[in-house]
């Protein structure tokens, strides 16, 4: 299944995408798409629905983030060797973990808002994992059984605040609109393998990132297992799994986002995001 949330900001309703690509309104049978909705029993009930029995949402309706009530946003840094090299940093021997604020979440076509005075806001395309059942110290072989689904995500990063102002990376990662997700959340059964997905991102039509989730250093299963050993993962938590090479910081000279830029990003099977970059 592919779940969406549609409507004006703060008033989104739950929906799903049917076999013809139409958005169907789920609000009559599901109050919200949140962690509780991702429970196995809830997903089994929703799979029993006939999408044709649900109202069609008008074409062009805004899509919000496909998951509400998000708990933790855990992120993995330098999870692609080519990205570590372009950042002139050592390839990690175990996952680098940091956090993003939940208030950074926005929809797949919402504007990316540059923080006041931003000079070094950068793009990072990432596969995002949505947790469906509680995971605490789970083995690698069991890890993906706790995953409800996957999304396209961007980990926007203000490099000045991330790297030059001291403290942890969270400072440069948590500005409003710095974590767009969607357009849809695909349940785990929709993907043959989360480790075999083509990834691409363009800025103003110029391809910047062109990679594959198979190039991860640590696989989704390894990541879920590792993070669950550090903290209990709960339904509705997200894990951003790292970005491949092609970010602005790695260019010579570095290139960063400016008001008026446009971002187009997609992961195979998980849909495309399109963003205008605007000044605060």
- Dihedral angle, C-alpha 71, 41, 149, 144, nearest 10 °: 100
Give the pLDDT confidence score for residue 220 in this predicted structure: 97
Rounded to an integer, the average pLDDT of 179-207 is: 96
Q: What is the pTM of this model?
A: 0.97
Confidence of residue 46 (pLDDT cuts 50, 70, 90): very high
Residue 253 has what pLDDT? 95
Give the per-residue pLDDT at 84: 87
Query: Does position 158 have pLDDT exceeding 90, yes or no?
Result: yes
CATH code linked to domain 73-279:
3.90.850.10
Strands 179-180 and 185-187: unpaired
**Does 166 have pLDDT greater than 90?**
no
Q: Where are the domains of the chain?
A: 2-64, 73-279
pLDDT tens for 203-215 read 999 999 999 999 9
Collapsing DSSP to helix, strand or coil, 163 comes out as helix
Single out the residue of 66, 75, 6, 8 nearest to residue 37, CA to CA: 66
* β 73-77/238-240 pair status: parallel
Percent of the chain scored above 70 by pLDDT? Answer: 100
Q: Helices in 62-122 by DSSP H: which ranges?
A: 81-86
What's the pLDDT band for 37 if we cut at 50, 70, 90? very high
Residue 168 pLDDT level (bands cut at 50, 70, 90)? confident
Structure confidence at residue 141 (pLDDT): 97
pLDDT value at residue 56: 98
- Label residue 87 by pLDDT band (50, 70, 90): confident
pLDDT in tens, 241-258: 999 999 999 999 999 999
Please tell me the predicted confidence (pLDDT) of residue 42.
96
How far apart CA 81 and CA 181 sit, in angstroms, is: 24
Q: Is the pLDDT of residue 88 over 90?
A: no
Tokens of 157: 């990063």
Q: How far apart are CA 110 and CA 9, in angstroms?
A: 10
Closest CA to 172 of 249, 106, 260, 62: 249
Place of tokens 């391809």: 207
- Is the per-residue pLDDT at 188 higher than 90? yes
Judge whether residue 167 has pLDDT over 90.
Answer: no
Task: Write the pLDDT tens digit of every residue in 100-142.
Answer: 999 999 999 999 999 999 999 999 999 999 999 999 999 999 9
pLDDT of 21 reads 96
CA distance 242 to 101: 16
Q: Rounded mean pLDDT of 14-23?
A: 97
The encoded tokens of residue 211 equal 């990679």
């Amino acid at each position: 299944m592919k779940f969406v949330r549609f409507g004006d900001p703060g008033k989104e309703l739950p929906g799903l995408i049917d076999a013809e690509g139409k958005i169907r309104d789920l609000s009559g049978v599901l109050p919200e798409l949140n962690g509780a909705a991702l429970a196995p029993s809830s997903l089994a009930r929703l799979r029993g629905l006939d999408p044709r029995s649900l109202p069609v949402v008008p074409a062009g309706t805004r899509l919000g983030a496909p998951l509400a009530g998000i708990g933790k946003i855990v992120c993995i840094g330098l999870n692609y060797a080519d990205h570590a090299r372009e950042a002139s940093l050592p390839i990690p021997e175990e996952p680098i973990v940091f956090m993003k604020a939940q208030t950074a979440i926005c929809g797949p076509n919402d504007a990316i808002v540059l923080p006041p005075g931003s000079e070094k806001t950068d793009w990072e395309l990432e596969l995002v994992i949505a947790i469906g059942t509680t995971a605490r110290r789970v083995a690698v072989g069991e890890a993906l059984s706790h995953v409800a689904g996957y999304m396209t995500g961007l980990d926007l990063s203000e490099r000045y605040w991330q790297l030059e102002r001291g403290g942890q990376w969270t400072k440069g990662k948590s500005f409003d609109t710095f974590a767009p997700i969607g357009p849809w959340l695909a349940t785990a059964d929709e993907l043959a393998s989360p480790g075999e997905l083509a990834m691409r991102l363009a800025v103003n039509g110029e391809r910047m990132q062109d990679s594959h989730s198979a190039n991860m250093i640590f696989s989704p299963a390894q990541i879920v297992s590792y993070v669950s050993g550090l903290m209990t993962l709960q339904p509705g938590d997200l894990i951003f799994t790292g970005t491949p090479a092609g970010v602005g910081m790695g260019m010579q000279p570095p290139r960063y986002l400016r008001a008026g830029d446009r971002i187009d990003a997609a992961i195979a099977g998980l849909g495309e995001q399109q963003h205008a970059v605007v000044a605060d």
